[in-house]
Amino acid sequence: MNFKTLATLVVLMTFVFVNCDQKKTAKEYKSTKTDSNIENDETPDGMVWVSSKTFLMGGKNDDKYAMPREKPSHKVFVDGFFIDAHEVTNKQFKKFVDETKYVTVAERQIDWDDIKKNLPPGTEKPADLNLEPGSLIFNKHAKGVVSMQNYGQWWTWKIGANWKQPEGPGSSIEGQDNFPVVHVAQEDALAYCKWANRRLPTEAEWESAAQGKFEDNIYSWGNKFEDLNANANTWQGKFPMENMSEDRFEYISPIKSYPSNNIGLFDMAGNVWEMTSDLFNVNYYQTLDPMAVLKNPKGASKSYSPSNPYQKEYVMKGGSFLCHESYCASFRISARMGMEPNSGSDHIGFRTVVTKDMLKK
């Protein structure tokens, strides 16, 4: 999904038609450190060791929701690495901003010359007012949605929305230290990573982490769809107009509101989407040899999304509080969607990884 293009088109009052794709104590597991050369005291605070392993990446044969872009599934081997136990929080991001005085993309004036390169040729420049800093927010009051291919019906370009005021002017993150940071573009996430000596995971690393001790499961908790609401913040009811909140949260939830997966990772399904460093190409898996075991794959060499031909996109994983069974069912480990790197929204965040080599530097 191309949010900045979408944002611009929302601003332009046009529609975008695309192919779519109890406050209880969280059950925590000890992280697995089965690789012989990992010492217990090596694990950075707030991170979990993901052991090296071979596992099945992509849409599983018994996954009725698996989409063509997730197929065919294929074996990969991924070296061990450390990953954040939870999505990067407002508190963590604030520390980064306080120390570096970093200004996020959503807080900067929009450069029309820059974004028009990613729009259909001939797109007219919107009024200057609509190029003020802002971000996309979910329209909680969407009514009369007639086409599920028309994102513009439930997204609103909100001037003044950014990580510090997620719903626009007048809103704040006060009391939300332990909520995932949102309205961050990939550029912002990479700046955070650089400051923290971290990087974004590859898609294969992300799936390895989500599998944990599993090798070929559909969900981060196992294979039962009926366990979804106990394990992830997604959407129940009729998307996007009726949210039944059977999972206890209508919108974004604090980290660790649901049980972790079997190695201690929270929200690998739902809450906010998570960025990866892989380019998004809907045909990538079809170019791979299904009989080979890929070692530490880093994704497609070129981005390709037929719904967004003008923009380079990267893979994001895990789905968000907006994911619904009837739509993209992205709470599955193999689910993958494109995100353009130059803007964020109120349901995309990230978590970071680090390798032993990076820690030595």
Residues at the interface with Ca ion (CB under 5 A)? 233, 247, 249, 267, 271, 318, 321
CB of 248 to Ca ion, least distance (A): 7
**Identity of the residue, 49 or 206, whose beta carbon is nearer to Ca ion in the bound complex:** 206
CB of 11 to Ca ion, least distance (A): 28
Q: What is the DSSP string of 206-233?
A: HHHHHHTT-SS-SBTTBS-GGGHHHH-B
In whole angstroms, what is the distance from residue 13 CA to residue 16 CA?
10
**Identity of the residue, 155 or 321, whose beta carbon is nearer to Ca ion in the bound complex:** 321
CB of 225 to Ca ion, least distance (A): 16
CA-CA-CA-CA torsion sign (108, 270, 305, 198): positive
Please name every residue paired with 17 in a beta bridge, in sequence order, or none if there are none. Answer: 150
CB of 246 to Ca ion, least distance (A): 8
DSSP 298: -
Two tokens at 239? 């998307």
- For the chain, the 3-state helix, strand and coil shares in percent, each to the nearest 5, are 20, 20, 60
CB of 349 to Ca ion, least distance (A): 7
**Identity of the residue, 134 or 264, whose beta carbon is nearer to Ca ion in the bound complex:** 264
In whole angstroms, what is the distance from residue 245 CA to residue 326 CA?
15
- Answer whether 352's CB lies under 8 Å from 198's CB: yes
Rg, C-alpha atoms of the chain? 19
Residues in the chain: 361
Cis peptide before 72 (omega within 30 of 0): yes
**Identity of the residue, 54 or 245, whose beta carbon is nearer to Ca ion in the bound complex:** 245
Question: In terms of Cα–Cα distance, which of 33, 352, 48, 360 is closest to 202?
Answer: 352
Alpha carbon separation from 81 to 78, 154, 203, 278 (Å, rounded): 9, 38, 13, 17
CB of 180 to Ca ion, least distance (A): 7
**Identity of the residue, 5 or 260, whose beta carbon is nearer to Ca ion in the bound complex:** 260
CB of 288 to Ca ion, least distance (A): 26
Please name every residue paired with 195 in a beta bridge, in sequence order, or none if there are none. Answer: none
CA atoms within 13 A on the CB side of 354: 22
CB of 242 to Ca ion, least distance (A): 12
